[in-house]
A and B are shown apart, each in its own frame.
Chain A
Amino acid sequence: MRYPSLKLRRVIPRSLKQWFSKLAKGNEIFLTLSLFTSLFLLLFYPPSLYAQQNQQDRVGCYGDTIVVGSIGEPITLVPILAADSASQQIVGLVFNGLVKYDKDINLIGDLAEKWEISDDGLELTFYLRKGVKWQDEVLFKARDVLFTYQELIGPQTKTPYSGDFKKVKDFSIIDDYTIKISYAEPFAPALASWGMPIMPAHLLNSEEDFKKFSRQPIGTGPYKFIQWETGSRIVLEAYDDYWEGRPYIDRYIYCIIPDQSTLFLELRNRGLDYIGLTPLQYQRQTETEFFSRNFRKYKYPSFGYTYIGWNLNNPKFKDKRVRQAINYAIDKAELIKGVLLGLGKVCSGPFVPNSWAYDPEVKPAAYNPQKAEELLAVAGWNEKNKAGFLVKDNQQFEFTLLTNQGNEGRRKCAEIIQQRLKEVGIKVNIKIVEWGCFLDIIDKRRFEAVLLGWGLSRDPDCYDIFHSSKTRPKEFNFVSYKNEKVDKLLEQGRRVFSVGERKRFYHQIHRLIYADQPYTFLYVPDALPIINARFRGIEPSVNGIGYNFIKWWVAEEEQRYKLQE
């Protein structure tokens, strides 16, 4: 095993019972005495203890381990191949990109100290941070960025992320710490794309297809990779020479527990420090004294939304009025209450409320079944058959709502929608399909309507989802949305770099897409992390809580796991 000189010891006994049995075994008098002394101290010196705590609040303490529980197991730790969220979570701790998002979702320098964008928007010059060391003590230099870029566009690399980097026209190294990247046309998301974690050229030049590296990565990040027990856990350890300063928490253990109930029981047993809760667990199962004493819950909007996508090539959904009618007929507040137990926000367009691209002027339509029926009548659906469903040209208004298996929320959502649409005379059949098949159906466009969610990156560019050129099989405008105005705005939005200017374009896009209703936007669910109360320094922001992880810490007397010499 690769544990050089460090040992892990559980400091706080697992339960009172064990603690008492230890007490009974020996040192009885000493322990009892110390117990009484501490009680005495607690009773008579609260102010001094409090002051000490306050002081530590400012300073921060090194030590302890955070045990994170997750359902998914990372697939690979090669940054340019890591596409799943579990892999990205670990990669994010071991590596750095050139840029990153701060707590207000502004791009700031990471491995790049600063950058310049030429006036025509065609050239990006990055000035790299000096003195940054890879975890094997070699200096980070421009050749590492070049290497990462070359791998991203290499024909043999199985990366899904080559798209943004294929747009690079020329990549040149000016000196060890300056690189210049030019594009054939201005491309605003390019800057954010350089948040791609950078890989070490000196280690990988000789290694083919990264077999070893994918399970033993070395990066520039705050944590060093130690060990990966397949299917069980990944262990990381603080990197002492991290350029931003060593992280406070010594060790990061990522536990893989594929069952949500077991995950919760382990948390309840205090075997885990940090998991994501389901709405039910957040609202009902953690509302106990035990949890409020030992854990802190957080809640903030996630970067994603759930929607119904209409196949716009289907004659029923070609008519904008029909889509608008359905938007009126679905009660989003009810969905949020029923499916998310209130833990979410109504969604009014392709951006989340936390993003600068979101136009707060767009007000989501209130639930109004009368208006829905009026609109449907105008669209020609004005007769009802015996069963109470709308009829046009002897055809009943009936469609299949497709969603993927394994997502309880989406299933419930579909059922509530089915009920609401029945009330305005539309028959909905729900079809739940396993994910691999589901993708196949979407690829081949053999659906009428899908209930699905998008997880979004921090940049609002949604060219791939709504531009009319992206409707080929396997591309992401699978609803076949076409609007020339939106196309133009999407193109303009990626051509300028200034946030102020882009904001104008994206606010317009937001309004146009909402009016067109290619999707019926439903809700933005909240992220619901729960973290052991001993961790301090957690500051929720619009960018979630993870952005300042290296500043989290545990007061010395509360530390649970100790690294022993």
Chain B
Amino acid sequence: MGFGHWDLFRVIRNSTMLLYFFKRLFNLVPLLLGITIISFAVIHLAPGRPAYLKEMDPRISLEAQERLMKLYDLDKPLLKQYLNWLKRVVRLDFGNSFVDGRKVIVRLRERLPITLLINILAMGLIIGIALPVGIISALKPGGLFDKWTTFFVFLGFSLPAFWLALLLMLLLGIKLNWLPISGLRSFDHHQLSFWGRNLDLLKHLILPVSVAAFGGLAGFSRYVRGNMIGVLKQDYIRAAYAQGIDKKRVVYKYALKNALLPLITILGLSIPGLIGGSIIFESIFAIPGMGRLLYNSTMARDYPVIMGGLVIGAVLTLLGNLLADLCYAWADPRIRYE
């Protein structure tokens, strides 16, 4: 794109812009507080109680159970529990998990890198495929290429991920023996060379990343296609053609830039999704990611972990929104904030 980083710098230095930025940042605080109050209330009022065992065990006595409730502070009124929680969170202490007593932040941190890695790779793959697919389809809407890619991306959209995953595992893992089926590392991972370790990781990532990306192709390529078709019909494009500018230049320089603008919003909104993970394919591929952690925590009513996950998700959503707005101002000279 035609903007250098100096442009961004200029925009930020612009004092109205800076003021706007801080105003927005300041507004996030009450919003975040509201989110935590609602989340806290909802997860505590939902029926059920902390239960990390999947079956009943008659050896667990009533006294022991009540002692546990006390040690977890669950016998206190809800408002008091919330204030205690808030006091700790302000100091960035999310408390300890009910399930294994470890720090919530540690449990989230050990799951985060792999979820981020897979989601960023999948996102990259989606953009890498959907962008050209969308653009080329838009040049000839209803053409053969458009029809086939439409079919393909919607196939990906509608196939259940777990089913596709199992079929691919059967084919590529068992029948052809090309790729490992599950997990992230082989047993002998620790004794491989540096490149060997990366190759091992890469092999393990191919299936999950492809399955995750396949489902997301449809949305993104449709956006690109739609925007592109809209922009190509604009007067200024017609004017460019009329001036005899080369078709490639018109499409890739003038049309594409404008067609990509709305994608900033979509990318901004997808930031919280990057840490969310997915219970379905993390379970199928046995990947220790955030999706599995948060699902299991919800099932066990492990309130501190659920709240930790929710707060981080909320912060990222809000920041993602803000970032998208800022990027918009940077990329589109027509938009200025007062």
**Size of interface on B: residues with Cβ below 8 Å to A:** 58
B55 touches A453 (CB 8 A): yes
Judging by beta carbons under 8 Å apart, are B54 and A435 in contact? yes
CB contact under 8 A between A76 and B101, given known A163-B64, A253-B187:
yes
- Smallest CB–CB gap between B116 and chain A, Å? 15
Q: Is B101 a contact of A259 with CB atoms below 8 Å?
A: no
Q: Which of A154-162, A328-336, A511-519 contacts B (4 or more CB under 8 A)?
A: A154-162
Task: Tell me whether A8 and B188 are in contact (CB under 8 A).
Answer: yes
Give chain A nearest CB distance to B291 CB in angstroms: 11
B164-178 residues at the A interface, CB under 8 angstroms:
166, 169-170, 173-174, 177
Of A106-114, A129-137, A412-420, A469-477, which stretch is located at the interface? A469-477
- A7–B174 touching, CB < 8 Å: no
Check A9 for interface membership: any CB of B closer than 8 A: yes
C-alpha spacing A413/B159, complex, angstroms: 31
- List residues of B (182-202) whose CB comes within 8 Å of A's CBs: 182-185, 187-188, 190-191
User: Which of B75-83, B225-233, B278-286 is near enough to bind chain A?
Assistant: B278-286
Are B49 and A257 neighbours in the complex by a CB distance under 8 Å?
A: no
Count how many pairs of residues, one from A and one from B, have CB atoms less than 8 Å apart in the complex.
173
A268 and B181 alpha carbons, distance in the complex (Å)? 11
Are A18 and B177 touching (Cβ within 8 A)? yes
A22 beta carbon closer than 8 Å to chain B: no
Which of A162, A261, A462 has a CB less than 8 Å from the CB of B64?
A: A162
Chain A residues lying within 8 Å of B52, measured Cβ to Cβ, are: 75, 83-84
Interface size for A (C-beta < 8 A) is 72
Contact string against B for A residues 260-275, beta-carbon threshold 8 Å, 1 for contact and 0 otherwise? 0110011011010000
Please state if A230 and B110 are interface contacts (CB–CB under 8 Å). yes
A residues less than 8 Å from B301 (CB atoms)? 436
Residues from chain B with a CB closer than 8 A to the CB of A7 are 188, 191
Given contacts A76-B100, A265-B174, contact A271 B181 (CB under 8 A): yes
Question: Would you list which residues of chain B between 50 and 91 have a CB under 8 Å from chain A?
Answer: 50-68, 71
Contacts of B88-106 to chain A: CB distance below 8 A = 99-102
Distance of A462 Cα from B57 Cα, bound (Å): 11
Question: By the criterion CB–CB under 8 Å, are B48 and A231 in contact?
Answer: no
Q: Is B111 part of the contact surface with A, judged by Cβ < 8 Å?
A: yes
A25 within 8 A of B: no
Q: CB of B261 within 8 A of chain A?
A: no
Q: Tell me if A464 is interfacial: C-beta within 8 Å of chain B.
A: yes
The answer for the CA separation of A259 and B49 in the assembled complex, in Å, is 25
> In the complex, what's the smallest C-beta–C-beta distance from B326 to chain A, in angstroms?
36
Say how far A467's CB is from chain B's closest CB, in angstroms.
11
* B286–A256 touching, CB < 8 Å: yes
Q: Which residues of B are found within 8 Å of A81, using beta-carbon distances?
A: 101
B313 close to A (CB within 8 Å): no
Considering the chains assembled together, what is the distance between the CA atoms of A253 and B186 in angstroms? Answer: 12
A104 to B191, alpha carbons, bound, how many Å? 43
Apart from A10-B188, A161-B64, A166-B61, 9 more pairs, CB < 8 Å: A8-B188, A67-B187, A83-B52, A160-B68, A231-B288, A262-B169, A262-B286, A434-B299, A475-B62
B residues apposed to A, CB below 8 Å: 47-68, 71, 99-102, 110-111, 166, 169-170, 173-174, 177, 180-185, 187-188, 190-191, 282-289, 292-293, 299-301
